[in-house]
Structure 1
């Protein structure tokens, strides 16, 4: 199922595996297999339709909502339900409605005000607010004014210490060539200067300064199931 779409018979494969989600993870109390469960659906998510992606989101939304930080039961559940993998999963649900994406991005930024939040949430904000989606559907892109608001929050952070924030800024400010999606030139210029100062990969700077297509290898690096080269998960 990697990456879950774009290959022969993927539609058929997805039809076979979706009933597994409805069955759910068995013996789910304290089961260490939760991480594998979310990773599996993250790999398949690209081929799921909007209703299926919405179902995934509906089931994990209560854990992403900052309100969960005040709910002892939810916080206890998160000790075993692999929250970090949930965050990576929701970032890849590109077919969610725009208003849902905006809500999730704001949730994650709110949670990031606390040092206890997984640093992967920075990366997820970038994926959620990306100017160019992997499946190329422009109508699912978060509005540029929202992406600009998120970007200005990221610009306040130290990118040298955390390249996940730098990568998120690249996704938010990537030049698509579509004026309806692209950020203002001055905002992109600020990103380029800060990327250069943080000694970010040349490809990242290029994506903000030029509208260009990615090779298969570059797409895999940016949108694959693993974090882009140079990024590390911080517990």
Structure 2
């Protein structure tokens, strides 16, 4: 069952302190920073407010270093419309997701991890409370076409695409153990 929401909050507070998020920037070993942000992005039971604060902090850092793959991966997970295991009430509000998408789309260059983040944040769910505005999804699609991103990669922006084992592998970087599967919503 993984960590409870309380355990995830406690773990997040420790990592946030080590990263110096939201305060005077600390000098942190780059590997520790990358892994710390990835860990924070994988904590899907953090409440939506905490996830929004982390994402806002992260976007400031992404603007300074728009090719940082760990940060881009993390913003995609923090803003994902479809959590892999967390409850739906921890998904950041659609207005926050829209703001993040606009900022990512404004980057001069969209690296593959940036594309993945835009698609995760803008993925259609069929739930009006979670879905970003159609105009934002349309702008994302246009920008991704300019960047020569395949239609298959953009598909979640156009229609509801169920999360599958391959998606979990892409997100977590390894296949799930035999017998463990991502539950559909």
Assess same fold via TM > 0.5. Answer: yes
Q: TM-score, normalised by structure 1?
A: 0.67
- Structure 1: where are the runs of 5+ without partners? 1-10, 12-46, 227-235
Question: How many angstroms does 1:141 deviate by?
Answer: 0.5
Matches within 5 A, 1:84-95: 84-95=34-45
Structure number with larger C-alpha Rg: 1
For residue 183 of structure 1, give the secondary structure of its aligned residue in structure 2: coil
Question: How many angstroms does 1:82 deviate by?
Answer: 1.3
| Aligned-partner Cα distance in 1 for 2:161–2:149 | 18
Q: Does 1:174 align with 2:129?
A: no
Q: TM-score, normalised by structure 2?
A: 0.84
Residue among 96, 104, 112 paired with 2:46: 96
- Report how many aligned residue pairs link the two structures: 173
- Structure 2: where are the runs of 5+ without partners? 175-185
When residues 224 and 83 of structure 1 are mapped into structure 2, their CA distance, relative to the original with a 3 A threshold, is same
Q: Does 1:224 align with 2:179?
A: no
Corresponding residue number in structure 1 for 2:146:
197
Matches within 5 A, 1:127-206: 127-135=77-85, 137-160=87-110, 162-206=111-155
Corresponding residue number in structure 1 for 2:5:
50
For residue 23 of structure 2, give the secondary structure of its aligned residue in structure 1: helix
For residue 63 of structure 2, give the secondary structure of its aligned residue in structure 1: coil
Corresponding residue number in structure 2 for 1:108:
58
Residue among 54, 58, 65 paired with 2:21: 65
Deviates more, 1:119-128 or 1:179-188: 119-128
Q: Is the 8 A contact 1:111 1:117 kept in 2?
A: no
Question: How many angstroms does 1:153 deviate by?
Answer: 0.7
The CA RMSD measured in Å over matched residues stands at 2.1
